[in-house]
Amino acid sequence: MFDTAIAGSLPKPGWLSETERLWPQWKVEGPELAQAKLDATLVWIRAQVAAGLTVIGDGEQSRQHFVHGFLEQVEGIDFEHKVEMGIRNDRYIAMVPQVVAPLKLRGRVHEAEARFLRANTDRRTKFTLPGPMTIVDTVADRFYGDRVKMAFAFAELLNQEALALEADGIDIVQFDEPAFNAFMDDAVQWGVKALERAAQGLRCTTAVHICYGYGIQANIDWKASLGDEWRQYEEFLPALAASRIDQVSLECIHSRVPPELMALLAGKDVMVGVIDVASDRIETPEEVADTIGSALRFVSAQHLIACTNCGLAPMKRAVAEAKLKALAEGAALARQRYPG
Ligand code: ZN
């Protein structure tokens, strides 16, 4: 009861890349970089196991950014000429690559780190990919001229990589779709269908993560503008409940999402955010157990997975390590408090 998992990303060590950045520059290159990425992955596999998490990820140590890491292996994308673009409904400006030709995978994207993860823990493993709608919202289109068409083109490529990750022995493939919270109507009209295309044919567990973003200033300002109740989830959770996706990762602690919205996901596993990524303060096990307790009013115990609100990539390494421990200790306390 109460599996524990991270949403996806963890901070990169200072010897691998710049720290506390969303788009950090690597500090080494070539074969040395490939080795350094795996070394950092091992650091975080060990840290998650030592903390006591039951589901282990690679911490996204091998990709510069959660979206662009995938795109670097896609043909038809011009990375040389990035352009400035408003993303997540113009919440912030990013330098994004351009789609200039039909999309095609050059080969495997995440084979090295997925196999390395599988080889270095006996626990269940989770691997994250960006979702189709979020990719479409993080590239400039100079070719397709149609967001839906381009999303389904990306969904096919994601599906190829997802099936290969399953063959690598990954237990849970998760797609990250923060864009759902910026384009709720689109999520209902085609976002969930594109997600299902990306997950087509998978026999492993499938998941989607939808959040209010990393704990960076643009997101903190945006959240302050959303009012007393954040009801974005309400619009598309019914479509997700009717989909083939098995698990849904949502923000909970310190967010203004009404917890009763989780009831819209009856029958699904819900990854409940019990760790805040927008604050360096370390949660106590009691707080984590309290958050699990409040979610239990709307999610049954066998469907509740304790998780972080979002990725921890831009945080300080020591803070992230302490938050992993708080997550595991809080879930252990909840198992005592709320025995099935
Ligand atoms: Zn997130």
Interatomic CA distance for residues 21 and 271, integer angstroms = 25
CATH fold of 3-337 reads TIM Barrel (3.20.20)
Percent of all residues in the chain with a pLDDT value above 90, rounded to a whole number: 89
Output the CA 215–ligand 1 centroid distance in Å. 9
**Rounded to the nearest 10 degrees, what angle do helices 317-337 and 285-295 cross at?**
60
Q: From 20, 120, 46, 57, select the one nearest 249 (Cα to Cα).
A: 57
- pLDDT tier for residue 88 given thresholds of 50, 70 and 90: confident
Output the CA 202–ligand 1 centroid distance in Å. 23
- Count of CB atoms situated within 10 Å of the CB of 5: 26
* pLDDT for residue 214: 82
* pLDDT for residue 68: 85
Output the CA 214–ligand 1 centroid distance in Å. 6
Are the beta carbons of 113 and 37 closer than 8 angstroms? yes
Beta strand pairing status for 74-87 and 92-105?
antiparallel
Output the CA 31–ligand 1 centroid distance in Å. 30
Q: Cα dist. 217→22, 67, 278 in Å? A: 12, 20, 9
Count how many Cα atoms sit within 13 Å of the Cα of residue 265 in the half-sphere of its side chain. Answer: 31
Query: Is the CA virtual torsion 211, 1, 172, 330 positive or negative?
Result: positive
Output the CA 57–ligand 1 centroid distance in Å. 15
Condensed to tens digits (0 to 9), the pLDDT of residues 290-337 reads 999 999 999 999 999 999 999 999 999 999 999 999 999 999 999 999
* pLDDT for residue 160: 98
Condensed to tens digits (0 to 9), the pLDDT of residues 248-259 reads 999 999 999 999
Output the CA 339–ligand 1 centroid distance in Å. 29
Interatomic CA distance for residues 23 and 36, integer angstroms = 17
Condensed to tens digits (0 to 9), the pLDDT of residues 211-232 reads 998 878 888 888 888 899 999 9
- pLDDT tier for residue 18 given thresholds of 50, 70 and 90: very high
Output the CA 177–ligand 1 centroid distance in Å. 8
- pLDDT tier for residue 91 given thresholds of 50, 70 and 90: confident
Q: Cα dist. 249→74, 204, 214, 245, 330 in Å? A: 27, 17, 14, 11, 18
Condensed to tens digits (0 to 9), the pLDDT of residues 192-207 reads 999 999 999 999 999 9
* pLDDT for residue 216: 82
Output the CA 211–ligand 1 centroid distance in Å. 4
Q: Given a cut of 90, is residue 108 above it in pLDDT?
A: yes
Output the CA 312–ligand 1 centroid distance in Å. 9
Interatomic CA distance for residues 33 and 163, integer angstroms = 26
- Count of CB atoms situated within 10 Å of the CB of 107: 10
If 0-12 CB within 10 Å is exposed, 13-18 middle and 19+ buried, where does residue 188 land?
A: middle
Strand partners, 95: 84
* pLDDT for residue 213: 84
